[in-house]
Amino acid sequence: MDPQHLRAVEALLFAAAEPLDEATLKASLPADADIDAVLDALRESYAGRGVTLTKVAGRWAFRTAPDLAHLLQRHRKEERRMSRAAVETLAVVAYHQPVSRPEIEDVRGVAVAKGTLDLLLETGWVKIAGRRETPGRPVTYGTTPEFLSHFGLGSLKDLPGIEELKRAGLMDLPKEGARWGKAQPEDKLPELPLSADDEAPPPLERGE
């Protein structure tokens, strides 16, 4: 393998503001370059160092080594603190997507506070996925590649289990009647994709 290919990909990833996919990286290399071999070699060369080469949401980026993340906490500025309701709503969207607002409320066992979904949409972690093929055609929500990237997930298959979330203190024990957990395919209702004729849902009133 040409060392120059390795250096080129390393430079591209280091300078990129967001993760890059393999097609983008390969486009900057000679046609005969083996991008898979280059990425494997680069990831191996960074193993055990302060930063590692990680694949997130199908794209590649340098990330702080997991065992050193605590060193950066004191230097990290938290621009927005999410409420417990927003964290729980995000978890429901992640594990049950695509999911409508009434379905979120059914899973949590409580009403979604005004503005909670607006906040999640503004973070870029949640998007409008489509509409339910049911009366009223309610909007459904799902997570975005930015959600996977922020939490260092390769795909939704890498989401932690419910028990892990509880042990980490990220989720309270379910309320009586709530349906925490990963929805099975047979639980899903028919869904229609958004079309150009669809009007965007009105913004929710800002609230807790």
Q: Is the pLDDT of residue 39 over 90?
A: yes
Is the domain spanning 84-192 CATH 1.10.3720.10? The answer is no
Intervals of CATH 1.10.10.10 along the chain: 3-73, 84-192
Percent of the chain with pLDDT over 70: 71
Q: What's the rounded mean pLDDT across residues 185-195?
A: 49
With beta carbons less than 8 A apart as the criterion, state whether 83 and 116 touch: yes
Whole-number pLDDT of residue 118:
86
- What would the pLDDT profile of 91-105 be if each residue is shown by its tens digit? 889 988 889 988 888
Q: Is the pLDDT of residue 150 over 60?
A: yes
Distance, CA of 145 to CA of 125 (rounded, Å)? 8
Q: Is the pLDDT of residue 184 over 60?
A: no
- Angle between helix axes 84-96 and 101-108 (nearest 10 degrees) is 110
* Local confidence band at 207 (pLDDT 50, 70, 90 cut-offs): very low
CA distances to 42, 46, 68, 77, 181 from 119, in Å: 37, 36, 30, 18, 23
Is the domain spanning 3-73 CATH 1.10.10.10? The answer is yes
For residue 4, the SS3 value is helix
Q: Is the pLDDT of residue 200 over 50?
A: no
Q: What is the reported pTM?
A: 0.52
